[in-house]
A and B are shown apart, each in its own frame.
Chain A
Amino acid sequence: MDATPDLGTSPALGTGPDLKTGPADVPVLSGLRSPYDAADLPRLPAPGPVTHPKRAWVEQIMGMPISIHLRAPGVDARPGDPGFDPAAGRALDQAVAAAFAELREVDALFSTWIPGSQVSRLQRGELTLAEAAPLVREVADLCDVARTRTGGWFDADLPGPDGARRFDPTGLVKGWAVQRCGEHLAEALDGVLGGVDVLVNAGGDLAACCRRDDSAPFSVGIEDPIDRTRMIATVPIRVGGVATSGTAARGEHIVSPRTGRTTAELASVSVIGPSLLWADVYATAAFAQGQDAVDWLRALPGHSWLVVGRDGGVTAR
């Protein structure tokens, strides 16, 4: 990343002034507010947000560790602790195990690293979409929608190592799978401990599903890709997703569908929205556009975002 020549300050990515000049009707991402706070939940006469205990589980799936964070009164109680509820403890363990199992099933279907996965077989022409599993067809349809919504900047039809284009839904599968997993898990735990807030963190892309009405939003930090000793912003989120695309994490791994080459004009693009699936797709599509990302994101309804240029300039809404 350091070896890449500095592209200088673009007008769109200059520091400062753009930070709070989003359209008046759109919430400003100042690290304080998210438009998705309880957006889909009934407004109650708030008893004041409470910080409930948390507990986390982590497993290595899809080539990355995925952590599940649960929040509810008593969620951290262990056998032997006063007030430990054995039934709730079993329910939590089972639901979390099922959530990880669901992600592993998705990986078995979609991984391009597993030769026997349906996507690998699709790529080799051993399988047609019509014969593929319903979930694979669902994802293929979503990839079509994503291409349309992003004006072609997100495309599952990507060049492989040999240069030939083939179906590769990897860029969408992660967000889709994690969003789905979080929703299923929160649903499964609805009757447990009076409802459980769920946060799933998959390699820096997070899906939040808060089902309690007495809890504070999850606080998600957005890492500064230039100076990673600090977080550039925090986002309170109850229901929705936070996705970051950038070169900081795994080197250059985002390929521009237009040029077929990796893009690295920006340091990172973070998108916050009602669903991790679309936040992730939009972050990827914006990052692929390089300097044009900010203009494109400005026209994107219903999402907050934060773009960091290679010069460290931040533009956000």
Chain B
Amino acid sequence: MRRIVIAVMTTITGLALLFSYYTSTNSGTTLLGAGLPAGGGAGASIDPAATDPGTAASDPGAAATDPSTAATDQAAAATDQATPAATPKPAASAKPKATPKPAKPSGQFTGDTVDTRWGPVQVAIEVKNGRVVNSDVVQYPHDNQRDLEINQVAVPILNQEVVDRQSANIDGVSGATVTSDGYRQSLQSAFDRAHL
């Protein structure tokens, strides 16, 4: 009876010690297990059961947090890359949009023919889900060499600008040409038709 009491007490002590070392290192639990008397057979069998689920439970936890931080790191890296260095947006991307937009338009939209000092200009845009993916000059002035030069310079640049303008969120450009404004004017009516 006394040995039973001692065995039970030893087991309880062992369990108590075990649980008090619940978060301790492996070496600690190993020492504890080794220190248990022979009478603590039940305690010895509990030992691995008590520690393993604990570490097993904490490991997936750690494993679960790692990918998530890795994911946010990637997301941060992605936004870093996406945001031009010169234009930081103060938490704009994190904010929910205040005005929910209606269905995004797709398709091809042709702007008005706009008369510039050098002749008519007409622009078409291709829209996918509310974003301009391409723009093209359908009609441009070509009465003389100067017009050709102007348009050769202005048009590809503006093609670039149309696509860039949305990503950079530029409201206007200072230093533009008169011809490019003809382009822009036709472009704007194409935008208007696309309800952008």
Contacts and interface: CB of A to CB of B under 8 A. Distances in A.
Given A65-B185, A234-B87, A56 B191 contact: yes
Nearest to A56: B188
B172 A58 contact: no
A223 B177 CA distance: 10
A234 B172 contact: no
B177 A249 contact: yes
Contacts of A52: 98-99
Interface string B108-133: 00000011110000000000000000
Interface stretch (A85-93, A119-127, A238-246): A238-246
B157 A228 contact: yes
B8 to A, nearest CB: 65
B104 interface: no
Contacts of B182: 65
Contacts of A64: 178, 181
A216 B177 contact: no
B49 interface: no
B110 to A, nearest CB: 16
B176 A203 contact: yes
B175 A78 contact: no
Which of A54, A205, A249: most chain B Cβ within 10 A?
A249
B171 interface: yes
Interface in A64-120: 64-65, 67, 69, 73-74, 76, 78, 81-82
Contacts of A268: 175
A48 B95 contact: yes
Contact of B88 (A32, A54, A55, A244): A32
Which of B88, B178, B181, B182: most chain A Cβ within 10 A?
B181
Nearest to B101: A53
A220 interface: yes
A56 B185 CA distance: 10
Nearest to B176: A204
A73 B178 contact: no
A222 B161 CA distance: 12
B171 to A, nearest CB: 4
Contact of B157 (A67, A81, A206, A229): A229
Interface string A22-44: 00000000111000000000000
Contacts of A50: 95, 98
Given A31-B86, A234-B87, A242 B174 contact: yes
A69 B172 contact: yes
Which of B88, B117, B168, B173: most chain A Cβ within 10 A?
B173
A54 B114 CA distance: 22
A315 interface: no
Interface in B155-196: 156-157, 160, 168-178, 181-182, 184-185, 188-189, 191-192, 195
A223 to B, nearest CB: 4
B61 interface: no
A51 interface: yes
B132 to A, nearest CB: 14
Contact of B171 (A60, A219, A248): A219
Nearest to B169: A219
A67 B115 CA distance: 15
A62 B171 CA distance: 22
B172 A220 contact: yes
A205 B174 contact: yes
Contacts of B189: 58
A43 to B, nearest CB: 16
B153 interface: yes
